[in-house]
Amino acid sequence: MTGHDDLPAAARTRRLEERLIAAGLTSDEEIDGFLATMYATASPVNGATMVARAWTDPRYRDLLLSDGNAAAAEMGFDGLSYALRVVPNTATTHHVIVCTLCSCYPVSLLGPSPGWYKSFAYRSRTVREPRAVLAEFGLTLPEEVKISVWDSTSEARYMVLPARPAGTGELAAGELAALVTRNGLIGTALL
Amino acid sequence: MGGQTGFGPVPVGDDSGAPAFAADWEARVYALAAVLRRRGAFNGDELRDAIERLPPQGYLGASYYERWLGALETLVAEKGLAP
Amino acid sequence: MTRDSVGYPAGSRVRVRTGDPDHHTRVPRYVRGHTGVVVAVLGDWPVPDDSARGIDLPRVETCYAVRFSAADLWGSGDHTVTVDLWESYLDRP
């Protein structure tokens, strides 16, 4: 137990795994299986699919904004481990999501979170100077667009409903979903 | 740490196309935490608390998943999960 | 745990308690002592301060999305910050 902090993280991880496996608390199969499932199912395509439907189906949009979990279940994403709350960008309001306390994130609908989302810089600055943070992503919003920052401090996880880009009226559902980026779902990009 | 100053620019660079985990061990730490939570060894609040209780140099000087690893080691020791 | 009525309906002004507990809590420091407006009632969930300490029967309380103005929090900025806060984190102003 002593001195193990000096080992590289990879060695410490393997040592911890071996101890837990020996104690019967997990197995290599379980860990491998968890990762395989996550890689196969957790993706921003999920959130994008929900957004695309909301753009074309007013009833679904209303459901998405009033009961995110029910809306997710309708698209086959049931059993979410969090309360999904979706917030819509408008002509005058742009939403941005952060978790200042630790980096909570809706992994099942957006995939694993990007490194920058977990950084001290993003966690500390987004609530204080969101325009400057968005500028670092290459996003400059007009003055009249106000920014609404959401700090995910509870069981709720937030996702942005981006505004539908102009000139997309003829696109099919799959093409619309392809326009929705992960950063658009977090609020650090427009589409 | 909302509002805390001095952390510099957001590391946007490691964005498009970057893998979810920088190394295999990070993914395994993430998975270990999830399967242990699923088994009821500890809950998410206990995990976050263990991260927050890391010594300051362990918190600020460690990478994100190094902090998770330190927290898992703490919880395993405190709860006697692997005697 | 069921409630006959919600403690702070949407639209209520609430003040975040001050204090720096020596245990885990989910009140960000930057809102402590500040006053905001409830924009949504989120749900009844275990209070993290209790679950983090392994308390077998944690308090279950209503959690609220509370909106603060940047001007109040930082003295500058035209944005708002909405934070999810459990009922025992809040008082009437």
Residue B3 lies in a domain: no
Residue B28 lies in a domain: yes
Supply the pLDDT for residue B14: 60
pLDDT at residue C85 above 70? Answer: yes
List CB contacts (< 8 A) between B1 and chain A. 100-101, 120, 123-124
Helix/strand number for chain C, H first, E second: 2, 5
* ipTM given for this complex: 0.95
Residue B17 lies in a domain: no
3-state secondary structure A120-153: HHHHHHCCCCHHHHHHHCCCCCCCCCEEEEEECC
C13-91 placed in CATH 2.30.30.50: yes
**Domain with B32 in it:** 24-78
pLDDT in tens, B44-75: 999 999 999 998 877 778 999 999 999 999 99
Supply the pLDDT for residue B60: 76
Distance from CA of A94 to the nearest CA of B (A): 19
Residue of A89, A96, A99, A85 lying closest to A149 (CA atoms): A96
Cα distance between residue A173 and residue A10, in whole Å: 43
Residue B49 lies in a domain: yes
Residue B51 lies in a domain: yes
Is the distance from CB of B4 to CB of A124 less than 8 angstroms?
yes
Instruction: Give every CB contact of residue A8 below 8 A, 6+ residues apart in sequence.
Output: none
**Closest by Cβ to A19, choosing from B3, B29, B82:** B82
pLDDT in tens, A113-132: 999 999 999 999 999 999 99
Residue of A62, A79, B52, A59 lying closest to C52 (CA atoms): B52
> pLDDT confidence of C1, banded at 50, 70, 90?
very low
Residues A55-68 have a mean pLDDT of 98
Is the distance from CB of A121 to CB of A59 less than 8 angstroms?
no
Torsion-angle region of A61 (φ positive above 0: left; ψ -120 to 50: alpha; else: beta): alpha
CB pairs under 8 A between B and C: 27
Residue B14 lies in a domain: no
Instruction: Give every CB contact of residue B35 below 8 A, 6+ residues apart in sequence.
Output: A26, A30, A31, A34
Number of folded domains that form chain B: 1
Nearest CA in chain A to B9: A121
How many CA atoms, within 13 angstroms, populate the side-chain half-sphere of residue B32? 28
DSSP string, A146-187: EEEEEE--SSEEEEEEPPPPTT-TT--HHHHHHH--HHHHHT
Residues B23-43 have a mean pLDDT of 97
Least confident of A62-66, A168-172, B19-23, C48-52: B19-23
Instruction: Give me Rg for the CA atoms of chain C.
Output: 14
Contacts with C, B 7-46, CB within 8 Å? 43-46
B64: domain CATH number? 1.10.472.20
Model confidence, pTM: 0.95
Distance from CA of C23 to the nearest CA of A (A): 14
- Cα B79 to its chain centre, rounded Å, is 18
List CB contacts (< 8 A) between B68 and chain A. none
Supply the pLDDT for residue A71: 98
Residue B5 lies in a domain: no
A42-186 placed in CATH 2.140.10.10: no
